Structure 1
Amino acid sequence: MSSWTDSLRFAFQPVVNLTTGTVAALEILARPECGDILAEARRDPELDSALAAAAVRCAAQRETLLPLHVNAFAGTVADLGGLAAMRQAVRAAGRLPWEVTVDLTPPFTHVPQRSLLEGVAALREAGFRISADGLGDGDAPLRLLAELAPDLLKLDASLLAHTAMVRAMRTLCEESGALLAIEGVETEAQCEAAREAGAQLAQGDLFAAPSRLPAADVYVPPPRPALALPLPSGPPVRQFLRPAALLPVNARAGEVRALLTGAPEVSGVVLVDEYGRPVRSVRRDRFLLSLSGRYGHALYADRPAVRLGDVPRTVGLDATAWEALDVVAGGEQSRTADDVAVVDGRGRCVGLVRLTDLVRALAESRVEEAAGLNPLTRLPGSDYVTQEVGRRIAEGRTFALCWLDIDHFKQVNDGAGFAAGDDLIRSVALGLQQARTPTMRVGHIGGDDFLVLADPGDLERLAAAVLDTPWAAGGRPVTLSLATVLCAPGSVLDHHQAASCLAPLKKAAKALRGSSWVLGRAGLPGYELLRGCAANSASSSAGYVTRA
């Protein structure tokens, strides 16, 4: 054995969680410095088993606590059953079996399937997890794959070019409760494709190349912004405001300790300057842990408490719950449970909000929003838009309220069928989402009617997206009508009045031929015809002026 162990080294490659951007596990790869010991191990189950055991021992020497992926040829598992040498190495290293995933690697073709299934069953009985490795670049039969029912499927990145295959594997994973991983990811485009395919895990040189030392930090590209409506503003943080325990910035650690021990309900103390502005945040658990250690009280009790505090996380009194949650998510992971200090316009601390309160309230609001989504387009209803109309009226902002619908939609359904009509509505909804800006709101009123709230400067972008696109249903061309009312500050009192001003413009737009757009101003007569043609000469001079 010494001949191959002396020339063999192991490398660690992270298996990355694409959602959290963290390392989920480490795959241990054999790296012989001379010879082709892997080719020998493919033919020699005893040698392959020894390699798996050596990989576990190497991980133990590196003192990594991450879960491990250990490679074993399918033929080895079929021949040796439960891989006794590896199991012994796992016990000796003090690791639990369910912390180790056995990556079954090809070839599979000439492996006795019954023996392989029995060997996998023995590993599962012992608590090990099973991964089917090298799919797409190997020879694993689909029938065998179904019978193995692995906990993890590893697809080669080359399969990302064949989306139908990846979707099929994703469906298999969903039905069997397995996870999907993409290996060999080298570019950001492949990483994004893996996300879009529904893969939860990935590995490859893009994140981190195999290394002698286990990597704790990896590079994971941020996900591409989704084509979805922006998150609602959410409830204001003032709804969740709790009193803050305040002490002057020059307070001693003993004073902080006395406050915390005398008030168990207080989760932390905010140290403020002479003007009441937060300088440091002292978290209860971290502070008391520092003082509870050996000599901790003697070392810290009479020293400034500011030395045991952190830079406070703050939000303004007018911030929303989502903004407060962003502050929490954007900081260090070790501080995700910290309270957020709420400050007024002068920067003075007026209270605290707790993460648990924010998460509970936002979860409830998301449930309410989901209940109001249109099942066809997954867009919210008119309430979503009209609430924002009321907010902009209160703020004294100029806004544009738009109504959009599909011309002669009943004829579309009658001629092309309701399925084609539904597809058309979904396509229009997608076009609206692609045209949206951060300040735009889109609602699906029902049927083929949409409501859009936009800034005046975004109207051309919106019109181009929905009116310049050649729409069709069942091979038949379709046109759209767009009506817009501009509402200056003071021109309307509420969303009811804005909708009332929009109603005649809708009627005017529907009377035009082709894709049409008319624009009016609240409180003023007439409108501008920006797109479309009048149906007859009599109506062409009634009620509108064309833009110069």
Structure 2
Amino acid sequence: MRSWTDTLRFAFQPVVNLTTGGVAGLEILARPEAGDILAEARRDPELDGKLAVLAVRAAARRETLLPLHVNVFAGTLADLGGLTSLHSAVREAGRLPWEVTIDVVPPYTHVPHQALLEAVAELRGQGFRISADGVGDGDVPLRLLVDMSPDLVKLDASLLARPAAVRAMRALCDELGALLCVEGVETELQCAAALSAGAQLAQGELFAPPSRLPAADVYVPPRSPGDAAQPPSGPSVREFVRPAALLPATASAGQVRALLTGSSEVSGVLLVDADGVPVRSVHRSRFLLSMSGRYGHALYADRPAAKLGDVPRTVGIDATAWEVLDVVAVGSRDRTSDDVAVIDRYGRCVGVVRLADLVRALSETRVEEAAGLNPLTRLPGSDSITSEVDRRILDGRTFALSWLDVDHFKQVNDGAGFAAGDELIRSVGQALQHAATGNTRVGHIGGDDFLVLADPEGLVALAASVLDAPWTAGGLPVTLSLATVVCVPGSVVDHREAAACLAPLKKAAKSLSGTSWVVGRAGLPGYEIRRGSEVSTAQAG
């Protein structure tokens, strides 16, 4: 008589890194040929635990070295706790717990939250990574999601129709130190929407369908300029992490050689201790060169591979791409092509980053930034400021958005000449840049108009540094007008509403005599005149 395991098969679906285009992991999906075992597993924690163990064993039979994603119902974790059998199966398969992500699957209704959190903590203590699955289409409470503090959040693709919600989830993930993945991506439009909303990972039929054999290649649509604009501090290293080829620190040179020659995609091997901490780094070309020399194989094959390795280069999971480049720049030139190990807060290796991926992404970012710079002042345009405004709104931060221009600028050009006018604009732009400290952003939106985004506490010093300067053009005195709207959380929904609140303040500032500054608050009537005097004959410039 056939058992239910005889009719059970497993399929693998790639989890794709949208930045590098590489496969970041494989989700193992149960595919029963008869009966509804998954529905039974939802009601039976013991059965669900057995499915997780069988999934790991199925992956081991396929000899895949990629990180694995294993689905487990939330109710199973709350009932069984740390899944000792899964931990044993991972070890027996020759894998390390931190190479396995537990996808916690809904429903969460009627699941004891405290028991679930204790199980998650136990799994994390064993080294497993945690993913919150089915967010957006499931019933995971937001408070529980925060308390779980997952390493990865998986959103349903249906949420892409609500980009504000996806951006908000990206902001939450950044706060939790998690990556954001979109599941069920089927079209290039959905992929572009996921990128623009800030998702770093994705999976779905577009990239590769679930298959009995792990996919070696996936399709990733080419990125359009401006996709997933990065904050000024540089993209996070999380977005470039590739799976690492790991072997125990005691591995022989022969074992390393077998791993390298078995896959052309492996550029190096990291030797890790029992806790998953990198201790040596073996570079593909240098290692194979040593092994292929005269007597190389005879000399080294049975010796510890660590003798042919180097001290690993490491960065924390919270590092930026620029910080990785700083690490690469230190040391000898022959190691510039080495993979850099990415480690978590326990020092365990969670993957590697390649220099080529970083250079490509950073150069694309610089080209896009350069294309958006004003040719006169070399300052970014309004898009840079408005996207940062939206980011601060999503983060729930108070900010001050200011508009500044030169009074009667047409008369300045007519009287002093356009060259003097251009020089004045350049000087004002340089003064704003020099005054911009911390989180302040300055943009030139054309002509004599500038936008400034700053924290409210920095406003007075910034305004004084620019408004107190004795501005002239062609020997003639010139005055400036500054209008500021302070936006507290909840007062505006996006940059368009913030700009609408700023418009009447700009008109008020232009109605004042001399250098002026008007400050208002979004959603509240009236404004405060901090510079300038009211005269009925004042004309807008």
Alignment of 1:348-367 (within 5 A): 348-367=348-367
Question: In structure 2, what is the equivalent of residue 447 of structure 1?
Answer: 447
Alignment of 1:79-478 (within 5 A): 232-293=232-293, 296-344=296-344, 346-478=346-478
Q: 1:444 to 1:331 in 2, by over 3 A?
A: farther
TM-aligned CA deviation for residue 523 of structure 1: 3.0
CA distance in 2, matches of 1:486, 1:373: 26
Secondary structure of 1:482's partner? strand
CA distance in 2, matches of 1:318, 1:394: 21
Question: In structure 2, what is the equivalent of residue 497 of structure 1?
Answer: 497
Q: 1:441 to 1:327 in 2, by over 3 A?
A: farther
CA distance in 2, matches of 1:299, 1:321: 39
Q: 1:451 to 1:264 in 2, by over 3 A?
A: same
Deviations 1:256-313 (A, max 9, x none): 1221122222110122333434333221122233444555445543343334333333
Secondary structure of 1:391's partner? helix
CA distance in 1, matches of 2:527, 2:330: 47
CA distance in 1, matches of 2:326, 2:455: 25
CA distance in 1, matches of 2:488, 2:328: 37
CA distance in 2, matches of 1:419, 1:451: 23
CA RMSD of aligned residues (A): 2.7
TM-aligned CA deviation for residue 441 of structure 1: 1.5
Deviations 1:193-247 (A, max 9, x none): xxxxxxxxxxxxxxxxxxxxxxxxxxxxxxxxxxxxx993444444433221111
TM-aligned CA deviation for residue 448 of structure 1: 0.3
TM-aligned CA deviation for residue 369 of structure 1: 1.8
CA distance in 2, matches of 1:486, 1:330: 44
Deviations 1:347-380 (A, max 9, x none): 4433222111222222222222222111111111
TM-score normalised according to structure 2 size: 0.52
Q: 1:503 to 1:367 in 2, by over 3 A?
A: same
Deviations 1:123-167 (A, max 9, x none): xxxxxxxxxxxxxxxxxxxxxxxxxxxxxxxxxxxxxxxxxxxxx
Q: 1:430 to 1:521 in 2, by over 3 A?
A: same
Q: 1:257 to 1:471 in 2, by over 3 A?
A: same
TM-aligned CA deviation for residue 321 of structure 1: 3.1
CA distance in 2, matches of 1:479, 1:341: 55
Q: 1:413 to 1:328 in 2, by over 3 A?
A: same
Q: 1:474 to 1:375 in 2, by over 3 A?
A: same
CA distance in 2, matches of 1:424, 1:537: 26
Q: 1:307 to 1:411 in 2, by over 3 A?
A: same
TM-score normalised according to structure 1 size: 0.52
Gaps of 5+ in 2: 1-229
Secondary structure of 2:269's partner? strand
CA distance in 1, matches of 2:330, 2:496: 40
CA distance in 2, matches of 1:342, 1:471: 51
Q: 1:310 to 1:392 in 2, by over 3 A?
A: farther
Question: In structure 2, what is the equivalent of residue 514 of structure 1?
Answer: 514
TM-aligned CA deviation for residue 341 of structure 1: 2.4
CA distance in 1, matches of 2:435, 2:348: 40
Deviations 1:436-459 (A, max 9, x none): 224221110000001112223322
Deviations 1:449-484 (A, max 9, x none): 011122233223311221011001111101111122
Q: Counterpart of 1:302 in structure 2: which amino acid?
A: D
Secondary structure of 1:427's partner? helix
CA distance in 1, matches of 2:340, 2:372: 31
Q: 1:331 to 1:446 in 2, by over 3 A?
A: farther
Deviations 1:498-546 (A, max 9, x none): 22222222222222221112222333333332222222599xxxxxxxx
CA distance in 1, matches of 2:445, 2:518: 20
Question: In structure 1, what is the equivalent of residue 48 of structure 2?
Answer: none
Deviations 1:77-111 (A, max 9, x none): xxxxxxxxxxxxxxxxxxxxxxxxxxxxxxxxxxx
CA distance in 2, matches of 1:323, 1:525: 46
Question: In structure 2, what is the equivalent of residue 24 of structure 1?
Answer: none
Q: 1:329 to 1:452 in 2, by over 3 A?
A: farther
Deviations 1:27-74 (A, max 9, x none): xxxxxxxxxxxxxxxxxxxxxxxxxxxxxxxxxxxxxxxxxxxxxxxx
Question: In structure 2, what is the equivalent of residue 479 of structure 1?
Answer: 479
1:527 aligns with 2:524: no
Secondary structure of 2:523's partner? coil
Q: Counterpart of 1:282 in structure 2: which amino acid?
A: V
Q: 1:458 to 1:368 in 2, by over 3 A?
A: same
Q: 1:241 to 1:482 in 2, by over 3 A?
A: same
CA distance in 1, matches of 2:483, 2:281: 53
Secondary structure of 2:483's partner? strand
Q: 1:250 to 1:532 in 2, by over 3 A?
A: farther
Gaps of 5+ in 1: 1-229, 539-548
Q: Counterpart of 1:417 in structure 2: which amino acid?
A: G
Q: 1:330 to 1:505 in 2, by over 3 A?
A: farther
Q: 1:391 to 1:330 in 2, by over 3 A?
A: farther
CA distance in 2, matches of 1:274, 1:392: 42
Larger Rg: 1
Q: Counterpart of 1:529 in structure 2: which amino acid?
A: I
Aligned residue pairs, count = 309
Runs of 4 or more consecutive aligned structure 1 residues displaced over 6 Å after TM superposition: none
CA distance in 1, matches of 2:245, 2:483: 54
CA distance in 1, matches of 2:263, 2:432: 53
